[in-house]
Amino acid sequence: MRKSRTFMLAAAGVAAALLLGQSLQASAAAEGNRELGRALAYDNKKGNCLACHQIPTDPATQSPVSKDYTDATIGPPLIKMEARFPDKAKLRAQIWDPMVRNPNTVMPPFGIHHILTPKEIDLIVDYIYGL
């Protein structure tokens, strides 16, 4: 009886460790995806989000001279994105083809014009959605 209880406790401990390990791996992967998305969003040959949008929650967008944020004011600031887009798929659709929601937009249709791949858009959405 004692051996089976010890075995069950050991098995439960192993299972918990495996779940924790998987959770940590998933968390690290998500953080890695956010960093890749951030790099794409800042890349002036890819997303180039900073050309039109302020990202005030990211210290890297501050001017080293004035400590003000970038002067990009063509598009809205990228803040509180989860509140603005409770459905993450709608944010993705906005980046894929913003002309669906606003035919007069100046935002490029990154997806349909093949500026970004579907995977790159997903990475940028992961980054922006956390802002």
Specify the higher pLDDT residue, 95 or 23: 95
* Architecture of domain 2-129 in this structure: Orthogonal Bundle (1.10)
Specify the higher pLDDT residue, 7 or 85: 85
pTM listed for this prediction: 0.69
Residues 64-77 have pLDDT tens digits of 554 555 566 788 88
CB 37 within 8 A of CB 125: yes
Instruction: Convert 59-83 to b/e letters by CB count within 10 Å (16 or more is b).
Output: eebeeeeeeebbebeeeebbeebee
Residues 75-123 have pLDDT tens digits of 888 989 999 999 999 999 999 999 999 999 999 999 999 999 999 999 9
Please state, rounded to an integer, the average pLDDT across all residues of the chain.
79
**Per-domain boundaries in the chain:** 2-129
DSSP string across 72-129: --SS----SHHHH-SSHHHHHHHHH-GGGT-TT--S--TTTTTSS-HHHHHHHHHHHH
